[in-house]
Amino acid sequence: MVHIYCGDGKGKTTAAVGLALRCAGSGGKVLFCGFLKDGKSSEIKVLEKTENITVMPFLDNVRFSFKMTENEKNEAAQFYTKQLETAAKSAKNYDMLVLDEIFHAVNKGFAPITAVLEMIENTPDTEIVLTGRDPAEELCKAADYITEMKKIKHPFDNGIKARKGIEF
């Protein structure tokens, strides 16, 4: 089945990581692929040490897309398109595939939506978890679960920066 964790609230990646840990804890194999993050978040360290979870490489020194130069955007598009191709080819060997922040990658043109939709169609026996803000309508139609995290209040609104172990 296809799971979507979306919205402007905190907890999308946290929910996906929790589901990945649950799958791995029950003996399932998980492939975790992150988009538009540098792989230095605290949860990645735990996932890399967890039996039955494979974490794909991250793009080094990735910046917010609105701060990227055209060269950085081109590099990101090449990297993430290749990551998605690799994940799609490998998905059949896993019980679960997590594509963290895939919606932003798709929406900004760093990963083709057609590749995500084809992967969903071609891996019916793999649980697929997609996260991020603003999922495309086509992806929502393909989903079996959609959970929206809605921000009501967040410390960032008061100038408090992300804290290690909580937001990253």
The CATH number of the domain where 57 resides is what? Answer: 3.40.50.300
Structurally, how many domains does the chain consist of? 1
Encode the chain (168 residues) as per-residue pLDDT tens digits.
Answer: 999 999 999 999 999 999 999 999 999 999 999 999 989 889 999 999 999 999 999 998 888 888 888 999 999 999 999 999 999 999 999 999 999 999 999 999 999 999 999 999 999 999 999 999 999 999 999 999 999 999 999 988 899 998 888 888
Whether 84 contacts 115, CB under 8 Å:
yes
Show the domain range for 119: 2-152
Sequence-ordered list of residues with C-beta below 8 angstroms from that of 133, at least 6 positions apart, any chain: 6, 7, 8, 103, 104
- Tokens representing 85? 């191709």
Asked if residue 63 belongs to a domain, the reply is: yes
